[in-house]
Amino acid sequence: MAAHIVTSFDEDLGQINQLIHDMGDLAQLMVTDATRALFDNDAALAQRVVSEDAIMDARQRELDERAITIIALRQPMAQDLRIVVGAIRMAAELERIGDLAKNIAKRVNAVSEGATPKSLSHSIDVMAKLVMNQISEAVSAYEARDEKRLETLRLDDQEIDVQYTSIFRELLTYMMEDPRNITACTHLLFCAKNLERIGDHVTNIAENAYYISTGRQLPLNRPKSDETTVQDPA
């Protein structure tokens, strides 16, 4: 009987982990699609991101309900409980990544009205690729319960922040050069900011996964993000 309960709990956890895995894949896909829609001015692809976000929301609700049912019926303790509570948090982070990707997709129309300079699309593309790698690495390091990789992830977020700061400066110069660029550049600025925020959510996922594996929180002070508020750009 005890063995039966244990097995069922493992099965429950397996389903939760599968949902996290799927949500991670979906988050990456949404970032890829949203960025492509932005540069190819592809309204249909942008629309697909919006419907992917509905799937993401549904997955999160499903995970939440499963997790709460597990807590209620199986009353897990110690690490098992951490995994279940951690999964709820992780799903919330992934859902927000989906929201941010959707927000990028919704700007496709507004951005298309201006001409995006090549060097700028390149910079944003580099940033998007960094972000996608981070999402995939976060989910995979969580699945491997690899504490070292989780700590590294948090540090790698700085690379995204540096890239964001440089895009911010670049966008300001385009706006100053020609006021007709202002509307499109403002929307691109929010797109870049969304990518930077996705990086922050990945950091949260890493911190949370670290807590699940070790029962300890990573220290509060993490390297901070978004230099544009501190060093005022030209």
Q: Does residue 79 touch a second copy according to CB under 8 A? A: no
Nearest to 109 by CA among 34, 21, 214: 34
CA atoms within 13 Å, Cβ hemisphere of 4:
1
Q: According to CB under 8 A, which one of 5, 43, 54, 115 is a site residue for a second copy?
A: 54
Taking the complex as a whole, the smallest distance from the CB of residue 83 to a second copy amounts, in Å, to 12
Q: Which residues between 168 and 197 bind a second copy (CB under 8 A)?
A: 172, 175-176, 179, 182-183, 186-187, 189-190, 193
- Inter-residue contact 37 to 50 (CB < 8 Å): no
| Secondary structure (3-state) at 87 | helix
With respect to a second copy, which residue has the nearer C-beta, 149 or 161? 161
Q: According to CB under 8 A, which one of 103, 121, 133, 166 is a site residue for a second copy?
A: 103
Q: Report the alpha-carbon distance of residue 55 to residue 182 in Å, rounded.
A: 34
Q: Does residue 219 touch a second copy according to CB under 8 A? A: no
Tokens for 214? 């070790």
Q: Which of 32-40, 87-95, 118-126, 144-152 is the region at the interface with a second copy (rule: CB under 8 A)?
A: 87-95
Q: According to CB under 8 A, which one of 15, 22, 36, 85 is a site residue for a second copy?
A: 85
Rounded to the nearest angstrom, the gap between the alpha carbon of residue 12 and the centroid of all alpha carbons in its chain is 25
With respect to a second copy, which residue has the nearer C-beta, 92 or 120? 92
Q: Report the alpha-carbon distance of residue 221 to residue 224 in Å, rounded.
A: 8
Q: Does residue 125 touch a second copy according to CB under 8 A? A: no
Evaluate the CA torsion angle 33, 36, 38, 43 in order and state its sign. negative
Helix, strand, coil proportions of the chain in percent (round to 5)?
A: 85, 0, 15
Q: Which of 8-16, 140-148, 151-159, 226-234 is the region at the interface with a second copy (rule: CB under 8 A)?
A: 226-234
Q: Does residue 42 touch a second copy according to CB under 8 A? A: no
Evaluate the CA torsion angle 211, 152, 222, 97 in order and state its sign. negative
Name the residues that contact a second copy, by CB under 8 A. 54, 57, 61, 68, 71-72, 75, 77-78, 81-82, 85, 88-89, 92, 103, 106-107, 109-110, 113, 172, 175-176, 179, 182-183, 186-187, 189-190, 193, 217, 220, 226, 228-230, 232-234
